[in-house]
Structure 1
Amino acid sequence: MRMAAKAERASAIEIVVVILPESSIMSLASVLDPMRAANRVAGRQVFRWRLLSGDGQAAMLTCGLPVAVDGRFSPPLAGDVLLVIGGFNLERHTGKRFFATLQECARHFDVVAGIESGCWLLGRSGLLNGRRATAHWEELEDFGQAFPALTVIGDRFVTDGKYWTSGGASPTFDMMLHLITERLGPALALDVASIFVYDQMHSPTDVQPFVSLGRIEVRDPELAGAIRLMERTLERPMTVAALARRLAISQRKLEQVFARGLSTSPGAYYLRLRLQVAHRLVRDSGIPMRDIALRCGFDSLSAFSRAYRREYGESPLKMRSANRAASLAAG
């Protein structure tokens, strides 16, 4: 009996990580480093993992770094946790065989997680039907429209039964801490977070922010509150006076808060925030320009194009064309 208990404690949690080309190195690190740190803190191998790719070849990440893998993602596979990390241009790197493999292998794992664009892969495989899921905040609306059988929510990460999804690199780190907490206890999870000087462990239901405020929320809550209000009203931007009224401070005070904290005016920051969101959609999605303009609070395509050109030096159409040409050349 004692020998069986000892063997159970000593057995490692078996992880399979599937990495697609054009994924983020931060997402990969957010998966691997918490497990490495947990092994270090525990003083034994509590996690054991294999890194696989769709074709068994090294996966080239968005930063230009090739990541060597242990083999090809193909059945038979089984274990405790299957983590699928996706990035840009999923259609280039997946096909019928990949989805068939994902559907088959998912049956043999206790947890199956989609990370970054990995949530799209789980969605296209039908594995998330009838479940709650999340995606990166830039893609939430499109993700929900693409998979009407899902309940899409903007939380940092979502666990629904055995299927987990995360909305980015930092939420993935939170998700791995959650896994460590579930499997190995909160004390070890806290030790792992401390190794990375990670001050705030988030719960699954924390909402994804557009802007990572860090210490600003503690140091300057009025500034943080204003930025969060701007985030919530991107599609229907408010006047600076209306922002101040909603925040229950004077317009003069609001201007002072932004000048002191960010060396800019609230109006200039609000416009920059809207354009930053638009810029990501222009580069990384196929959403029509008119829809991007409306999503980011511009009442006409011409107004959006003028503002975008002033900020980035060229029109959104030229920016998208140049980005697509660069992607094709790299591929």
Structure 2
Amino acid sequence: MPSDGRLQSVIEVSVVILPESSIMSLASVLDPMRAANRISGREVFRWRLLSADGKPVVLTCGVPIAVEGTLRPPLAGDALLVIGGFNLDRHAGKKFIGALQECSRHFDIVAGIESGCWLLGRSGLLNGRKATAHWEELEDFSQAFPELTVLGDRFVIDGKFWTSGGASPTFDMMLHWITQRLGSALALDVASIFVYDQTHSAADVQPYVSLGRIETRDPKLAEAIRLMERTLERPLTIAALTKRLSISQRKLELLFVRGLSTSPGAYYLRLRLQFAHRLVRDSASPIREIALRCGFDSLSAFSRAYSREYGMSPLKMRLARRGAEA
């Protein structure tokens, strides 16, 4: 409860969920509200699930989600939360964008979650504002919407428009909102319900790798991984890594073998290929451009490394992906 003890009115929330969204992003929105209601012993949040067409939505894990209606005017409330995933062009056309533009006028908060930020961007609602996206899409998001100031933060609040960079940042964002509306004590209780003890602020940078306890157990190993993350496009030699980290090559090798059962070079290459794999499967970027973004000067070298890791060339992987979606 707020510090002044006054009873708050029910917070009315409309959650729009699109097909091929993540169940974790949906849970990160709904479960903090459910837990807040449970802890408070009353209904502090009331929500309804909506879709683009009023039909059930199938998530990426194959679970169908029943909804209560369609995103369309008249619609109003305290918060409009839009959760998007893969293939937005297939699931959210001009009619959806028009409805989003109109409905957003009647909410105090409008949030784009996961790929929902792209829908806010396409609607023009974010023009001239700060925003974020999932770290995999930050560069593409920035190029698609040059009128925005794109940040790598976990979540970004600019006026009434909120954006988050993934499931865990969305949980942080919901805790932040609960703190604002209902007080820090309730937000702490909600986090405790989920044994969530790594609460982040909005401005914390999204990591490529979630290090968990590595940062506490092996801070030098964590520092090495973070340095690798920052240099995927221009990979450092192992000698350069050790110089930047102020340790010997032998020490670096021991850290990786002990902590991750692999060598520094193999892990570095794996990071680059994982990033490339996401771009091959989920973006329209040319293969040559992906190779450069992942630190390969030679397209043939990239194709060989990718094929060893994933069993087929990047071009074949992309064609197989498109065939599966057709």
TM-score range, shorter chain: over 0.9
Map 1:228-239; keep pairs closer than 5 Å.
228-239=226-237
Q: CA deviation at 1:233?
A: 0.3
User: Who is 1:66 aligned against?
Assistant: 64
The separation in 1 between residues aligned to 2:63 and 2:320, in whole angstroms, is 22
**SS at structure 1 position matched to 2:226:** helix
User: Who is 2:21 aligned against?
Assistant: 23
Aligned residues: 323
The separation in 2 between residues aligned to 1:230 and 1:325, in whole angstroms, is 34
Map 1:192-203; keep pairs closer than 5 Å.
192-203=190-201
User: Who is 2:119 aligned against?
Assistant: 121
Map 1:96-245; keep pairs closer than 5 Å.
96-245=94-243
The separation in 2 between residues aligned to 1:109 and 1:254, in whole angstroms, is 52
Provide Cα deviations, 1:229-257, integer angstroms capped at 9, x if missing partner: 00000000001111011001111100111
Q: CA deviation at 1:120?
A: 0.3
Unaligned runs of 5+ in 2: none
Of the candidates 289, 292, 310, which is equivalent to residue 291 of structure 1?
289
Q: CA deviation at 1:10?
A: 4.7
User: Who is 1:280 aligned against?
Assistant: 278
Q: CA deviation at 1:324?
A: 1.1
Unaligned runs of 5+ in 1: none
The separation in 1 between residues aligned to 2:245 and 2:8, in whole angstroms, is 54
Query: Normalising by the residue count of structure 1, what TM-score does the alignment of the two structures yield?
Result: 0.96
Provide Cα deviations, 1:31-63, integer angstroms capped at 9, x if missing partner: 001100111111111100000000000011111
User: Who is 1:13 aligned against?
Assistant: 11
Task: Output the amino acid matched with 2:39.
Answer: V
The separation in 1 between residues aligned to 2:316 and 2:308, in whole angstroms, is 13
Percent of aligned pairs with the same amino acid:
79
Of the candidates 290, 312, 315, which is equivalent to residue 313 of structure 2?
315
Provide Cα deviations, 1:264-298, integer angstroms capped at 9, x if missing partner: 10000000010001011111111110111011000
User: Who is 1:325 aligned against?
Assistant: 323
The separation in 2 between residues aligned to 1:152 and 1:181, in whole angstroms, is 25
Query: Normalising by the residue count of structure 2, what TM-score does the alignment of the two structures yield?
Result: 0.98
**SS at structure 2 position matched to 1:112:** strand
**SS at structure 1 position matched to 2:20:** coil
The separation in 2 between residues aligned to 1:124 and 1:249, in whole angstroms, is 47
Provide Cα deviations, 1:152-204, integer angstroms capped at 9, x if missing partner: 01001100010000011111111111110111111111110111111111000
Of the candidates 71, 74, 77, which is equivalent to residue 75 of structure 2?
77
Provide Cα deviations, 1:184-230, integer angstroms capped at 9, x if missing partner: 11111111011111111100000000000011101110110000000
Going from structure 1 to structure 2, the CA distance change for 1:36 and 1:219 (only over 3 Å counts) comes to same
The separation in 2 between residues aligned to 1:157 and 1:210, in whole angstroms, is 15
The separation in 2 between residues aligned to 1:99 and 1:311, in whole angstroms, is 39
Task: Output the amino acid matched with 2:127.
Answer: N
**SS at structure 2 position matched to 1:9:** coil
